[in-house]
Amino acid sequence: MGFLTGIGKTPNDSGLTIGTVTPMVDIEPWPEKESVTGRKSARSAVPIAEQLALNINDAAQLAGLPRNFIASSIESGKLKAFKVGKVSYVKRSDLEAFIQSL
């Protein structure tokens, strides 16, 4: 068998047999990051489909379109957006109207 436990030849098989792999540790989700102000993000509080304003990533995910397409549509003026700090947001109603116009 050598140093690899669980791998060896069986009487009916001339090849290698690999045993069952069992996780040895429990995996927990990553803790939510805190912002610079020390408050936790409210991102998970409202599902994307119910948000009134979406950042570019969420707008792309909700629309099922590539992020680059959403960003270039904003830059060209085809899709309305507004900024809060450095982050661009799209109103869901504007996103829906834009999708209908495609």
- Does a structural domain hold residue 5? no
pLDDT score, position 71: 96
pLDDT digits (tens, 9 = 90+) for 41-63: 555 588 888 899 999 999 999 99
Domain span including residue 90? 45-101
Average pLDDT, the chain: 77
- Does a structural domain hold residue 88? yes
pTM of the model: 0.56
Q: How many domains does the chain have?
A: 1
> What's the average model confidence in pLDDT over 24-49?
63
81: domain CATH number is: 1.10.1660
- Does a structural domain hold residue 6? no
Q: Helix (H, G, I), strand (E, B), or coil: what is residue 45?
A: helix
Q: Tell me the longest C-alpha to C-alpha distance in the chain.
A: 71
